[in-house]
């Protein structure tokens, strides 16, 4: 067998190390050697010339093998490469105006760490998307696509920005139990779990714990999973989502709306600054948001819907479908809907007062017809809380662990829970929440 006919072998990394990321390969390195590592993301065979794109975490680099300039063995090895293989290439950097980033690498050595055994159902370089289920079944491979890498880099910035913003505003980050004894939100169902010899549940939200923590720390936030057994298949519900939960002492919902809108602006601005490449790749232009965000009361929205001949009664929840029917509704703007009917908000939400028990000090932050966040002033007196719990048919005894702290000076407080994935849907203009989630969980999906 001739050396050049040998099939490509997989090798270990050994002592070989990357010298440059794709983003560091530029014409300053002309005629220097470099070792790049990553994945084969496209191959074009021109007979006597092979164009191979290697993609790493920062981008792409073009490798050009010419039959005349390579050993026969190397040329033959490169010919055998398949998209998705994980490789290292040692080669010489050449300035090349025609190459995508003004440079290309002429290979001297190829090392294949792991071959692509199959042809993947999607191409790394392709922007067009195939069926989401096919992609989710191979999610880690799907995530190699620039489209998704861009989204998740933006997600990373959003998380960092939220943490930075809240920390600067005097909030401390906490973590509260995810295995709990009782429901907090009503509505969405709980996931029961075995807890030793008892039944327990996965937490729907950190609500009661974050409220309790205002007693000691005043301002707290938590970024963590919430679990909801959502029965319906929608493009905006996950069974496991990430919530940015905030709670502040000695304020009401108006202060919290001001905090939330500032946090949104800070986050969007951080993304504009940090993720220029990603935004360009996704063809997104983020809006210049202005303070304050518009506020419409629930009653006002209901009247507007009546004007639009929509069938809705005061007290009904506002579905995205019905909100879409609002005239002049901008689909790409943040706004608040405030002062909701007490009956459709959770038991811990404070009403507008003795005279107006029907309405409560609550808000939803919306983006078009998508709910991004819900918040409110909370009840801080035990009697009021007991009254509301009984009215909503809750088993008061089951909440004893919570109610007992109300004998010891719970401060007036307010807060919100914001769905990170919902915010990302708004920012990246993705219609399906699964796209902005690494490993989505829904009624049909528990793997990968």
From the CB of 343, what's the least distance to ligand ATP, in Å? 14
Contact 241, 247 (CB under 8 A): no
Residue that the structure tokens 């809750």 belong to: 394
Among 55, 374, 377, 428, binds Mn ion (CB under 5 A): 374
Residue 413 contact, options Mn ion, ligand ATP, none, Cβ 5-8 Å cut-off depending on partner type: none
Residue 243 contact, options ligand ATP, Mn ion, none, Cβ 5-8 Å cut-off depending on partner type: ligand ATP
Nearest CA to 248 among 275, 211, 289?
A: 211
From the CB of 345, what's the least distance to Mn ion, in Å? 8
User: Which residues, in sequence order, are CB contacts of 35 under 8 Å at separation 6+?
Assistant: 16, 17, 18, 19, 20, 88, 89, 90
Size of the site for Mn ion (CB under 5 A): 1
Q: How far is CA 301 from CA 122, 311, 312, 340, 436, in A?
A: 44, 12, 10, 10, 30
Whether residue 12 is preceded by a cis peptide bond, meaning omega within 30 degrees of 0, is: no
Size of the site for ligand ATP (CB under 6 A): 18
From the CB of 82, what's the least distance to Mn ion, in Å? 47
Beta bridge partners of 414: 248, 377
Beta bridge partners of 297: 338
Q: State whether the Cα torsion 305-316-239-231 is positive or negative.
A: negative
Q: Which of residues 122 and 399 has its CB atom nearest to ligand ATP in the complex?
A: 399
Q: Which of residues 243 and 380 has its CB atom nearest to ligand ATP in the complex?
A: 243
CA–CA dist 203, 200 (Å, integer): 9
Residues 11-40: x where in contact with ligand ATP by CB under 6 A, - otherwise, as a string: ------------------------------
Side-chain half-sphere CA neighbours of 7 within 13 A: 3
From the CB of 401, what's the least distance to Mn ion, in Å? 24
Residue 421 contact, options ligand ATP, Mn ion, none, Cβ 5-8 Å cut-off depending on partner type: ligand ATP
- Largest distance between two CA atoms of the chain: 93
Q: Which of residues 212 and 374 has its CB atom nearest to Mn ion in the complex?
A: 374
Contact 344, 380 (CB under 8 A): no
Among 55, 214, 270, 373, binds ligand ATP (CB under 6 A): 373
Q: Which of residues 62 and 374 has its CB atom nearest to Mn ion in the complex?
A: 374
From the CB of 187, what's the least distance to Mn ion, in Å? 9
237 touching ligand ATP, by CB under 6 A: yes
For 103-119, letters b (16+ CB in 10 Å) and e give bbbbbeebbbeebbeee
Query: How many other CB atoms are found less than 10 A from the CB of residue 255?
Result: 13
From the CB of 197, what's the least distance to ligand ATP, in Å? 30
Q: Which of residues 374 and 428 has its CB atom nearest to ligand ATP in the complex?
A: 374
Residue 238 contact, options ligand ATP, Mn ion, none, Cβ 5-8 Å cut-off depending on partner type: ligand ATP
Q: Which of residues 342 and 374 has its CB atom nearest to Mn ion in the complex?
A: 374
Q: How far is CA 408 from CA 215, 347, 388, 403, in A?
A: 9, 20, 19, 10
Taking contact as CB under 6 A, which single stretch among the options 66-74, 107-115, 183-191, 353-361 is the one that binds ligand ATP?
183-191
Q: Output Rg (C-alpha) for the chain, integer angstroms.
A: 27
Among 157, 275, 374, 380, binds ligand ATP (CB under 6 A): 374
361 touching ligand ATP, by CB under 6 A: no
Pairing verdict, β 219-227 and 172-173: parallel
Among 91, 107, 415, 417, binds ligand ATP (CB under 6 A): 417
User: Which residues, in sequence order, are CB contacts of 215 under 8 Å at separation 6+?
Assistant: 249, 405, 408, 409, 410, 411
Residue that the structure tokens 């990302």 belong to: 424
Residues 126-165: x where in contact with ligand ATP by CB under 6 A, - otherwise, as a string: ----------------------------------------
204 touching Mn ion, by CB under 5 A: no
Q: Which of residues 142 and 230 has its CB atom nearest to ligand ATP in the complex?
A: 230
Locate 445 and state its tokens: 């999906």
From the CB of 331, what's the least distance to ligand ATP, in Å? 16
Among 421, 427, 430, 436, binds ligand ATP (CB under 6 A): 421
Looking at residue 85, what DSSP letter applies? -
Residue 373 contact, options Mn ion, ligand ATP, none, Cβ 5-8 Å cut-off depending on partner type: ligand ATP
Q: Treating both helix axes as pointing N-terminal to C-terminal, what angle do 253-274 and 420-428 enclose, rounded to 10 degrees?
A: 50
228 touching ligand ATP, by CB under 6 A: yes
Query: How many other CB atoms are found less than 10 A from the CB of residue 202?
Result: 18
243 touching ligand ATP, by CB under 6 A: yes
Q: Which of residues 104 and 222 has its CB atom nearest to ligand ATP in the complex?
A: 222
Binding site for ligand ATP (CB under 6 A): 185, 187-188, 228, 230, 237-238, 241, 243, 371-374, 417-419, 421-422
């Amino acid at each position: 067998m001739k050396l050049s006919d040998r099939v490509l072998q997989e090798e270990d990394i050994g002592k070989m190390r990357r010298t440059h990321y794709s983003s560091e390969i530029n014409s300053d390195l002309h005629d220097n050697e470099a070792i790049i590592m990553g994945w084969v993301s496209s191959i074009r065979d021109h007979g006597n010339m092979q164009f191979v794109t290697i993609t790493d975490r920062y981008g792409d680099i073009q490798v050009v093998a010419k039959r005349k300039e390579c050993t026969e063995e190397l040329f033959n090895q490169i010919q055998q490469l398949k998209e998705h293989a994980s490789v290292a290439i040692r080669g010489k950097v050449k300035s090349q105006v025609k190459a995508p980033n003004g440079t290309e690498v002429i290979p001297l050595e190829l090392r294949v760490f792991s071959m692509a055994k199959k042809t993947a159902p999607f191409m790394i370089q392709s922007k067009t998307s195939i069926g989401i289920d096919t992609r989710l079944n191979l999610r880690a491979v799907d995530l190699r696509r620039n489209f998704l890498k861009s989204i998740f880099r933006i997600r990373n910035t959003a998380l960092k920005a939220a943490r930075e913003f809240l920390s600067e505003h005097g909030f401390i980050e906490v973590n509260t139990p995810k295995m709990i004894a009782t429901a907090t939100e009503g509505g969405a169902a709980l996931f029961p779990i075995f807890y030793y010899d008892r039944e327990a549940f996965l937490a729907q939200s950190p609500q009661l714990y974050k409220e309790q923590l205002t007693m000691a720390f005043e301002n707290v936030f938590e970024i963590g999973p919430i679990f909801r057994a959502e029965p319906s298949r929608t493009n905006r519900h996950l069974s496991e989502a990430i919530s940015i939960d905030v709670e502040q002492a000695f304020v009401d919902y108006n202060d919290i709306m001001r905090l939330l809108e500032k946090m949104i602006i800070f986050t969007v601005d951080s993304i504009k600054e940090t993720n220029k490449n990603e935004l360009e790749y996704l063809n997104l232009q983020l809006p210049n948001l202005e303070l304050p965000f518009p506020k419409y009361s629930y009653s006002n929205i209901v009247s507007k819907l009546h004007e639009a001949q929509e069938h809705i009664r005061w007290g009904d929840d506002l579905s995205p479908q019905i909100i879409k029917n609002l005239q002049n509704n901008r689909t790409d703007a943040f706004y608040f809907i405030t002062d909701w009917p007490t009956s459709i908000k959770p038991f811990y939400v404070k009403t507008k007062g003795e005279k107006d028990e029907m309405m409560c000090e609550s808000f939803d932050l919306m983006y078009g017809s998508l709910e991004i966040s819900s918040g409110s002033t909370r009840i801080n007196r035990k009697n009021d809380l007991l009254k509301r719990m009984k009215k909503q048919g809750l088993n008061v005894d089951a909440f004893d662990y919570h109610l007992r702290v109300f004998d010891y000076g719970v401060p007036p407080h307010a807060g919100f829970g914001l769905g990170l994935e919902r915010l990302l849907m708004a920012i990246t203009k993705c219609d399906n929440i699964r796209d902005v989630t690494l490993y989505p969980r829904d009624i049909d999906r528990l793997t990968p």
